């Protein structure tokens, strides 16, 4: 292995559609570096053949534009009904649907991604304590995504959609109780092996400094719990009953049995307290296969990250429409606008890109700017400005 030979090979390769894409080349370089470093660590190679700077020189700049892949309302409705809930094209339950244990939970998870723009791992590690205490009159209530579960450590506010929260309550009143009941035998085994993190008390519920009393560890801030701890997080029945007494919560939360250990995950599993990100990817792959079997090759494949893109595009489109409407109102009522209070003026001049960046947790604004460029390219064909379907879909029950 020689740096000059690799550089020569790199420069001779055409990085075009007919050759090797920059992302493919960089991935191969990363794999080669991993093998090299592992061989050095194992003593197979006595001394490093290249430095970290050398490996960096081998990489190439990837200036290709990757447009976000978004999902249209019709495609999402089909994926949700046929793929995740096991219905046929006419809304009737299929044999595959009858065999599914958690169709309501799976659809709720997809609804959360498309209505909040969270990443797959962020949603997977979300707990009921991260979700806000609800005020029924509000369009959304504010919770918090802790840095420990976010990419780049970009902890941020979570604006929980009231339409999605109502679906969460339906899930908690129906399928949730049975899921927790089925999970009890597995949770007891995990508890006997010392593999659970048991919460026995909660302080400052709904606040960023929410604290949890963990059995054997004492008080801990909820936001500082690691992903690994969250995957093993359960609560005593008293904690869940307190959550069940909050406005808008599912009634069965108050009906848990005294000898149960209850998963605190927003999307609990039947064998583990929390469903991991990889398991959700498998769920989506199986759902896509069901849609393909029902609809044929014309069906649109859906991934968790596509739902994040869909949220971003629709939210930005809505915000741009609001700005355009505010501009028109400002010009039509200029005399009255001059008397408008400061709060309304601040809203008029709010930057939609900065708001979407904050909602998504992007590290750089350039990443968010890609959605604006996408809207400029696609607005005439696919995403008319202001034509957001997500809240309408959730509010109408997904029909």
CA-CA distance, 138 to 133, in Å (whole number)? 11
- Same-domain check for residues 193 and 254: yes
Residue 80, in any domain of the structure: no
CA-CA distance, 344 to 179, in Å (whole number)? 46
- Same-domain check for residues 135 and 198: yes
- Same-domain check for residues 240 and 319: no
- Same-domain check for residues 200 and 336: no
Expressed as residue numbers, the domain containing 166 is: 126-275
Residue 259, in any domain of the structure: yes
What whole-number percentage of the chain has pLDDT above 90? 54
CA-CA distance, 75 to 294, in Å (whole number)? 13
- Same-domain check for residues 240 and 320: no
- Same-domain check for residues 379 and 245: no
Name the stretches of the chain with pLDDT < 70.
Answer: 1-19, 62-66, 297-298, 330-331, 334-350, 378-389, 396-399
What is the DSSP-derived secondary structure letter of residue 68?
P
Q: Which of 275, 292, 326 is the last residue of a domain?
A: 275
Residue 83, in any domain of the structure: no
pLDDT of residue 78: 92
- Same-domain check for residues 136 and 261: yes
Residue 314, in any domain of the structure: yes
pLDDT of residue 380: 46
- Same-domain check for residues 223 and 325: no
The total number of structural domains that make up the chain: 3
17-52: b or e for each residue (b if 16 or more CB lie within 10 Å)? eeeeebeebbeebeeebeebeeeeeeeeeeeeebee
DSSP-derived secondary structure for 110-173:
HHHHHHH---HHHHHT-BTTTSPPP-TTSSEEEEEE-GGGSGGG--EEEEEEHHHHHHHHHHHH
- Same-domain check for residues 217 and 313: no
Residue 293, in any domain of the structure: no
pLDDT of residue 60: 80
CA-CA distance, 129 to 201, in Å (whole number)? 12
pLDDT of residue 30: 86
- Same-domain check for residues 144 and 232: yes
pLDDT of residue 58: 85
pLDDT of residue 335: 61
- Same-domain check for residues 271 and 326: no
pLDDT of residue 384: 45
């Amino acid at each position: 292995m020689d740096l000059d030979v690799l550089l020569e090979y790199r420069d001779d390769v055409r990085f075009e559609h007919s050759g090797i894409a920059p992302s493919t080349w960089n991935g191969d370089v990363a794999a080669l570096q991993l093998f090299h470093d592992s061989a050095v660590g194992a003593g197979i190679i006595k001394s490093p053949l290249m430095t970290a700077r050398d490996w960096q020189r081998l990489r190439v700049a990837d200036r290709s534009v990757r447009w976000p892949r978004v999902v249209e309302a019709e495609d999402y409705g089909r994926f949700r009904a046929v793929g995740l809930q096991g219905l046929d094209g006419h809304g009737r339950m299929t044999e595959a649907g009858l065999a599914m244990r958690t169709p309501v939970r799976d659809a709720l998870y997809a609804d959360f991604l498309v209505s909040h723009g969270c990443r797959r791992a962020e949603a997977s590690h979300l707990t009921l304590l991260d979700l806000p205490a609800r005020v029924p009159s509000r369009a959304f209530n504010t919770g918090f995504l802790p840095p420990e579960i976010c990419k780049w450590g970009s902890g941020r506010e979570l604006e929980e959609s009231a339409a999605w929260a109502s679906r969460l309550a339906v899930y908690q009143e129906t399928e949730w109780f049975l899921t927790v009941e089925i999970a009890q035998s597995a949770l007891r085994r995990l508890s006997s092996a010392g593999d659970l993190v048991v919460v026995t008390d909660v302080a400052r519920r709904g606040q960023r400094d929410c604290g949890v009393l963990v059995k054997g560890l004492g008080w801990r801030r909820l936001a500082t719990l690691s992903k690994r701890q969250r995957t093993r997080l359960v609560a005593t029945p008293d904690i869940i009953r307190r959550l069940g007494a909050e406005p808008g919560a599912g009634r069965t939360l108050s009906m848990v049995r005294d000898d149960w250990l209850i998963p605190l995950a927003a999307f609990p599993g039947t064998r583990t307290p929390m469903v991991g990100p990889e398991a959700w990817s498998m769920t989506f792959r199986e759902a896509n296969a069901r849609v393909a079997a029902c609809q044929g090759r014309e069906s649109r494949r859906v991934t968790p990250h596509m739902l994040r893109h869909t949220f971003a595009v629709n939210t930005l489109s809505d915000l741009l429409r609001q700005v355009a409407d505010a501009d028109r109102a400002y010009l039509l009522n200029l005399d009255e606008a001059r008397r408008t209070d400061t709060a309304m003026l601040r809203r008029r001049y709010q930057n939609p890109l900065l708001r979407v960046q904050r909602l998504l947790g992007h590290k750089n604004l350039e990443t968010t700017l890609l959605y604006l460029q996408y809207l400029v390219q696609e607005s005439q064909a696919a995403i008319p400005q202001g034509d957001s379907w997500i809240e309408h879909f959730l509010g109408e029950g997904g029909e």
